[in-house]
Amino acid sequence: MDRRFWIAREDEIKKGETTDIYFIRTVNILKNDNLDRTKVSMEITTGELPYGFSWGVLSGVYEVIKLLEGIDLDLYILDEGTLFKPYTDNGLRTPIGFIVGEYGKFAIYETPLLGLLCQSSGVSTYAAHLRYNAWDKILLAFGARRMHPAVTPLTDYASYIGGFDGVSAILSANLMGLKPMGTMPHALIIIYGDQVKAWRAFDKYVEKDVPRIALIDTFYDEKVEAVKAAEALKDRLYGVRLDTPGSRRGDIKKIIDEVRWELDIRGYKDVKIFLSGGVDLDLIKTLADSPVDGFGVGSSVSNARIIDFALDIVEKEGTPIAKRGKFSGTKLLFRCPKCYRYIAVRWRVGSEEPKPRCPRCNIYMENLMVKAIEGGEVKIEFKKPQEIRRYVVGQLEKIRELGWGD
Ligand code: PCP
């Protein structure tokens, strides 16, 4: 093997070398019969969401645009971070985007294109549902250790734009212009052999702008160690982290209540409580009203189930055509800014843009589809992760007002 790790290089992805062999064969077959220049429109949709979710958050759009940039095609797609439902309110599989061009020019990119959207959107969607249920509690992405390091920046980016407050992996944080956020490992405490010595060493040697979050489940009961940490670091202690092993976990909600009580009656009301280890959506829902201030989430978010997007021909030489189970014809996706009703509207590329009104609110709906690539040239400005995250959280605030569930 010509490399250290079983990963594709950027140039190999960009050249479509990770694609499925049947696309190479298909293009060659079509070239033999001069059909590779058939002009098609191919639509991206998904029919269902994992975990029974009723809405998802799209991510991977930046990478899809970078993948297709320079290929002679047009790409219409939703903005990164757009909240969507699998089916529109007028009953169609929600069109996430579509490509217009000669099939032979981009056929091989179907595989990497879907891969970029499926995994990233799976993570951003799960992260958004964690944010939606944790609401104003702190969410830190600790999942770098759970996936292949090649995708650490990807899963952390998708967690962050989905609503997380920070990530612990330094490369991910640097790429997003963030400061990495983490605490301390059990190894630090075990090597000192004494919690207080380890906490004090952390406080002595770590940059002053790093919050002092003491890990308090190494040797003794969490409430005992929490008090010891507060008494050791006093007002410099920002928080305590419970990473309680499964063998001791029991009713973690009651353990958190005890820790909160013992800290409060000793005057440490400002010390925050963080929980990590096995944190997932169900646990966050269970602890929504508990005094826990934040969560370090690993496996459940970085390893979130993918969203099963598909890419299908919906027009051939301008004529609507689709396989069974799909809706033919290129469409635009509209959303009512007031009630968040979504409708897909048939639109022939180049014709006048429809201006539908919401059937419920009787106001103009917003066209969510943007022309991101024209003739291979990128036509949009890429937003920073912080701006995308604000867009996502703003949509979560909207659906919260509307009383949506998960
Ligand atoms: C883990 C480490 C991770 C947490 C738990 C993620 O604890 O702190 O950040 O767990 P999850 O994948 O179940 O969500 P340990 O494995 O004990 O590692 P350490 O001692 O370094 O905290």
* Pocket probe mutation, ligand 1, options 126, 142, 183, 249, max atoms within 8 Å of Cβ: 142
Averaged confidence pLDDT in the chain: 97
Separation of alpha carbons 227 and 218, rounded Å: 14
Give 153-173 pLDDT, tens digit per residue.
999 999 999 999 999 999 999
> Is 196 exposed, middle or buried, given 0-12, 13-18 or 19+ CB atoms closer than 10 A?
middle
Per CATH, the number for 10-121+305-402 is: 3.20.140.10
Contact indicator for 321, 313 with CB cutoff of 8 Å: yes
Q: For tokens 């598909």, name the residue.
A: 310
Give 83-130 pLDDT, tens digit per residue.
999 999 999 999 999 999 999 999 999 999 999 999 999 999 999 999
Domain range summary for the chain, segments of one domain joined by +: 10-121+305-402, 136-302
Residue 47 pLDDT > 90, yes or no? no
- Is the torsion defined by CA of 384, 385, 387, 391 positive or negative? positive
* Pocket probe mutation, ligand 1, options 243, 244, 275, max atoms within 8 Å of Cβ: 243
Separation of alpha carbons 142 and 326, rounded Å: 38
Give 303-348 pLDDT, tens digit per residue.
999 999 999 999 999 999 999 999 999 999 999 999 999 999 999 9
Q: 183 C-alpha to center of ligand 1: Å? A: 10
> Is 367 exposed, middle or buried, given 0-12, 13-18 or 19+ CB atoms closer than 10 A?
middle
Whether the predicted model's global pTM rises above the 0.95 cut? yes
Domain at 136-302, CATH homologous superfamily: Aldolase class I (3.20.20.70)
Token output for 385: 């992760």
